[in-house]
Structure 1
Amino acid sequence: MKYIKLILILLFLSSCSTNKSVVGLYGECEKSYFACTQIELKSDNTFEYFIFYDVGGVNILKGNWKKISNDSISLNTFEQPTNPKTSYTGIENGSSVKKVKISDKYGPIILASVSINDDNKWKETDINGFVEFNESEINTISVISLGVKEKILVENKNLDEIHIIVKDPQTGVIPEYLVDYKLKIRKNKIYITDKHRLKKTIITNKQW
């Protein structure tokens, strides 16, 4: 029992030490910048993500971060979307006409472009979010609307009426929220992409 407690204590201390090594501010901004990105990882496992674009404005995302591997972290903002993923429900009613309804968190989406079965023949939803197809079955549904571009695989081929609720769109240049947003950390650098990386810097370089 003593050995088990010792191992647990060592694992806890190791985890704290590993987290402490990545805590700090990442990213430096030039004096007269037109774009700037900085991330501050705090010791209490919260973060602040500063994003500025001259044409897109500024946003400071806040949330929790956690280490998911030796060189990776995951960010989740405090503010989360109502519908983080696109989902659908359906019914079988024996109709020869297939109906598809497109909605978001606010209700039916009007004039959304919809096609089925990888066909390039697009139709637009009506005032109630519905569109109809004269097909024997629906295998896939593609949807394009403002901030939305989705392709849904329909598992039950017998569905005659399908209601799709699309995930909350992020329509701006700057994201409004982060859901399990994964980043690599190597040699005191956070990799936003392979080419865009933020180097660890002193806290006095913080821009907000």
Structure 2
Amino acid sequence: MKFFKFIFIALVIVSCSSTQSVTGLYGKCEKEYFACTQLELKTDKTFEYFIFMDVGGASVINGNWKQITPDSIVLNTFKQPKHPITTYTGKINSETTENIKITIKEAGFPLAAATVVINNNQGEGKVANTDGVVEFEAQKIHTITYHFLHKSETIAIDNPNFNEIEITIKDLDSSAVPTYLTDEVMILKNKRLFINESHSLKKTNMKNKQWK
């Protein structure tokens, strides 16, 4: 019994020590900075993400974080998109045999000017009109890819015989400062938090925090 009690206490200590090694402030702003990013991971498993840009000023987004491996965490903001994933509906219209009609929308509005590609034929993309509609010659559809601003996504179509397809894409977060993070994975290595492959934040003293 004492042995199992010891094991339980040891696991709690290891768990606490792992959390303590992750929590804290990441990112240090230079003096008279024009841009700065800081991320505070709190002991209650919430975070505050500070982003400052010379144009637009400071923003702080909040949410929960969770350690998923010894060297990685996942972040989710409290605010989440209404449409987190892209969906589609399709049908076979027997009265239309010469063309395939694809309608693409975002948040219920036509995604005009989006470039649409079918079956990964990148050289044959077409631009959606003001109604979010694009048409192609009749053929079997396996995938549809859209490109809009800096976003792109490929959707697999389960019935290649559909000739009318309506796509509702997931909510776009096109602002310079993210509105929300959904299952955003960040890597921990050598007291650095890697937001992506090219950008990391070094762990720093809490006195360097730039917001209240």
Going from structure 1 to structure 2, the CA distance change for 1:3 and 1:160 (only over 3 Å counts) comes to farther
Q: Deviations over 1:28-72 (max 9, x none)?
A: 111111111111110100000111222454321210001010111
Q: How many angstroms apart in 1 are the aligned matches of 2:3 and 2:91?
A: 58
For 1:181, the equivalent position in structure 2 comes to 184
Q: Read off the aligned partner of 2:180 and give its amino acid letter.
A: Y
CA shift, 1:202, in A, is: 1.7
Going from structure 1 to structure 2, the CA distance change for 1:170 and 1:93 (only over 3 Å counts) comes to same
Q: How many angstroms apart in 2 are the aligned matches of 1:130 and 1:193?
A: 35
Corresponding residue pairs, total: 208
For 2:19, the equivalent position in structure 1 comes to 19
CA shift, 1:110, in A, is: 2.6
Q: TM-score, with normalisation over the residues of structure 1?
A: 0.86
For 2:87, the equivalent position in structure 1 comes to 87
Q: How many angstroms apart in 2 are the aligned matches of 1:167 and 1:147?
A: 14
CA shift, 1:168, in A, is: 1.6
Unaligned runs of 5+ in 2: none
Identity %: 47
For 2:104, the equivalent position in structure 1 comes to 102
Q: Deviations over 1:49-96 (max 9, x none)?
A: 111222454321210001010111111111111222222221223331
- Aligned residues: CA RMSD: 2.4
SS of residue in 1 equivalent to 2:15: helix
Q: Deviations over 1:118-151 (max 9, x none)?
A: 3323333344322222222112222223453222
For 1:139, the equivalent position in structure 2 comes to 142
Query: Does the Cα contact within 8 Å between 1:58 and 1:174 map onto a contact in 2?
Result: no
Q: TM-score, with normalisation over the residues of structure 2?
A: 0.85
